[in-house]
Amino acid sequence: MEKKLTLEHLKLATLDSQGLTQNTPFGTGKDAVLHALEHLGYVQIDTLSMVERAHHHTLWTRIPDFRADYLEELVEERKIFEYWFHAASYLPMQDFRYVLPQMQTIKRGESRYYNADSKVMKYVTDAIRNEGPKRARDFENESHKAGTWWNWKPAKLALERLFMQGDLMISGRSGMQKTYDLAERVLPSSIDSTEPTPFELAEYLVKTNLRAYGFTTIKQITHLRKGNDLKKNVNEVLQTMLEEDRISKVKVDGGNSVFVQNDLLEKTFDLTDSNVWLLSPFDNSIIHRDRIKQIFDFDFRLECYTPKEKRQYGYFCLPILFGNQFIGRVDCKAHRKEKKFELIHLHIENDTIDPEVWLTPFAETLKLFAIFNGCESLVLTKVSPSKLGSIVKRVLSSKSKLKK
């Protein structure tokens, strides 16, 4: 017989699992970055820079003293690595073996992406083997012809294919500029590099999702991963965990059934002093859009890829989480040269909460985020609904000049 769970409890359980009910859920400093990655499973890398990039933003949200060089140092220390989860990501080195199935799929040519000339691939591999780690810019485009994919030059295509099939790994970064080296020189000898069985891969995905989100579904676990065999194995893992009483299948008020970690069913959560979080659009907690719509009744879509005339909210909106409710989103931009952080359009969509309750913690979070983005002043351009404009401007005016 299925257990029942209130929607409010499920919200708190998943936010707690995501590290969004405490100020320092993973501790502080560089160790906290590693702990966060090992708990969350991955953090997505993205190149968009309207505000601080997604991988930095996501970690800063959970680690207030986060610095970008922590990630670079952990890569150099071989404690984390870059590869693909559902997108380009940082992952804990301890999980390396679970990316091997995808690497092998690409190596066998079963993916229509990452096409590269075999002669160029050999040239790139030999150059790195003989001369040491290299960046894409270190290779000259001798043919002076652009590549066929994203207009990349042939050596860049070769680097990306060799990386995706596991012959090369990223040994370091300077901003978004990657340095590649032979995998055998990057991968620590202590790391298990045996390819997991399909069942072991399913078990890893199930456990990672449950640990990071508190609850899960088969659809969420297999997000962007193809194959009926994977779904079958995932279902088998979940059924085994149910039989062993490690998880429960729970009917959520007004929704479908989900699989929940047992320790979260009776756990209490203290949100007396509710925090406000400004989340990256690529934050782990928001990335499964259907899940957020179902559990939080928040319909979020990133509109930077939508034609301007069809955008409803703005180019690069950040979801605003207050306690266990998404109260709106803000389209914003860090003008780094002017050191000015602009709220292009603040959209408040929950009118059931008195603004006086959330505005002060929102203003404080905004101040800290602007400083994190290297800005020294705040500018508010537009608020919706317009009736909130005066009170929002009054509260934010006290934070308009920022001090570290």
pLDDT digits (tens, 9 = 90+) for 227-280: 889 999 999 999 999 999 999 999 887 778 899 999 999 888 876 567 899 999
Residue 291 placed within a domain? no
Residue 173 placed within a domain? yes
Q: Are residues 31 and 168 in the same domain?
A: yes
pLDDT category, 353, cuts 50, 70, 90?
confident
Q: Are residues 78 and 107 in the same domain?
A: yes
Q: Are residues 253 and 326 in the same domain?
A: no
Q: Are residues 55 and 98 in the same domain?
A: yes
Of 186, 208, 226, the domain-final residue:
186
Asked if pLDDT for residue 146 goes beyond 60, the answer is no
pLDDT of residue 115: 83
Of 186, 217, 233, the domain-final residue:
186
Asked if pLDDT for residue 1 goes beyond 70, the answer is no
Q: Are strands 43-44 and 88-92 parallel, antiparallel or unpaired?
A: antiparallel
Q: What is the pLDDT of residues 304-334, one digit of tens each?
A: 999 999 999 999 999 999 999 999 999 999 9
Phi then psi for 70, rounded to 5 degrees? -60, -45
Q: Are residues 167 and 241 in the same domain?
A: no
Residue 162 placed within a domain? yes
Domain residues for 377? Answer: 298-397
Residue 126 placed within a domain? yes
Residue 403 placed within a domain? no
Question: CA 378: distance to chain centroid?
Answer: 26
Asked if pLDDT for residue 144 goes beyond 60, the answer is no
Residue 282 placed within a domain? no
Asked if pLDDT for residue 400 goes beyond 80, the answer is no
Q: Are residues 44 and 151 in the same domain?
A: yes
Q: Are residues 146 and 224 in the same domain?
A: no
- Domain total in the chain: 3
* Position 165, amino acid: Q
How many Cβ atoms are within 10 Å of 148's Cβ, its own excluded? 12
Q: What is the pLDDT of residues 170-182, one digit of tens each?
A: 999 877 789 999 9
pLDDT of residue 137: 87
Residue 36 placed within a domain? yes
pLDDT category, 226, cuts 50, 70, 90?
confident
Q: Are residues 228 and 206 in the same domain?
A: yes
Q: Are residues 45 and 155 in the same domain?
A: yes
Average pLDDT of the residues of the chain: 91
Q: Are residues 109 and 145 in the same domain?
A: yes
Do 343 and 310 touch, CB atoms closer than 8 A? Answer: no
pLDDT category, 147, cuts 50, 70, 90?
very low
pLDDT of residue 224: 79
Report the C-alpha gap between 264 and 281 in whole angstroms. 26
Q: Are residues 236 and 381 in the same domain?
A: no
Do 343 and 333 touch, CB atoms closer than 8 A? Answer: no
pLDDT category, 356, cuts 50, 70, 90?
confident
Residue 285 placed within a domain? no
Q: What is the pLDDT of residues 39-81, one digit of tens each?
A: 999 999 998 999 999 999 999 999 999 999 999 999 999 999 9
Report the C-alpha gap between 264 and 54 in whole angstroms. 28
Query: Residue 248 maps to which CATH number?
Result: 1.10.10.10
Of 152, 186, 220, the domain-final residue:
186
Asked if pLDDT for residue 145 goes beyond 70, the answer is no
Q: Are residues 243 and 369 in the same domain?
A: no
pLDDT of residue 150: 40
What's the token pair of residue 7?
A: 């929607």
pLDDT of residue 402: 66
